[in-house]
Amino acid sequence: MANQKFGKILFTEEQIANRAKEIAAQIDKDFEGEEVILLCTLKGSILWIGDIMKNLTVKTKLDFISASSYGASKTSSGVVKIKFDPEINMYNANIIVVEDIVDTGNTLKYVLGKLEERGPKCVKVCTMLNKEARRTNDFHADYVGFEIDDLFVIGYGLDFDQKYRDLPYISYLEEDDVDSL
């Protein structure tokens, strides 16, 4: 198994897979007979969006967004950098932004503002993890995999300084871990 030293498991691959099936069923219900555009927020959402997408029965299209407010640090810089792939037409479309984790909500709030400028029919957010206690604005996710405490999580797409995305489960870092990285 990759990066074996992080044995602390917050959510197993199976738990994530099961929760993704439940959420996909909810999305199917909410968008019955319609098409949705899944917007994967790079890079952290790549595994989670696969779990969601393969379980959906509604028609989907896929595109990617890159937005970041974190560098080699565990705290948000507060400045959101954003890059859109302009290929997909969002006008009058049902957009579901698929995110790895919502922390302060800064990134998503900014991204949603930008997406609204493209005239979609609706924009929803499906996040794997939600740190509600850290929210600094009124951002609200529509579909949440798991609510978590104020932990710095890694694995299943989530990184610390671009590392640990390959863990097939969700783990977390504590102060002592950071000293040995």
Q: Taking CB under 5 A as the criterion, which residues in 62-101 touch Mg ion?
A: 100
Please report which residue ranges of 87-148 form alpha helices under DSSP H. 106-116
Judging by DSSP bridges, how do beta strands 122-130 and 35-42 pair with one another?
Answer: unpaired
Minimum CB–partner distance for residue 173 and ligand IMP (Å): 8
Nearer to ligand IMP (CB atom), residue 46 or residue 53: 46
CA pair distance 8, 179, nearest whole angstrom: 17
Q: Of these residues, 63, 100, 103, 159, which one is catalytic? A: 103
Question: Please, are residues 129 and 170 in contact by the beta-carbon 8 Å criterion?
Answer: yes
Mapped onto helix, strand or coil, the DSSP state of residue 137 is coil
The answer to whether 176 is a known catalytic residue is: no
| Binding stretches for ligand IMP (CB under 6 A) | 44, 69-70, 76, 99-107, 152-153, 158
Query: Applying CB under 5 A, does 44 fall inside the site for Mg ion?
Result: yes
Site size for Mg ion (CB under 5 A):
3
* Concatenated DSSP letters of 22-54: HHHHHHHHHTTTSEEEEEEEETTTHHHHHHHHT
**Residue in the block written with tokens 């019955």:** 32
Please state the closest distance from residue 91 (CB atom) to Mg ion, in A: 25
Q: How far is the CB of 36 from Mg ion (least distance, A)?
A: 20
Active site residues: 103
Q: Kindly list the residues in this chain that would bind Mg ion in the complex (CB under 5 A).
A: 41, 44, 100
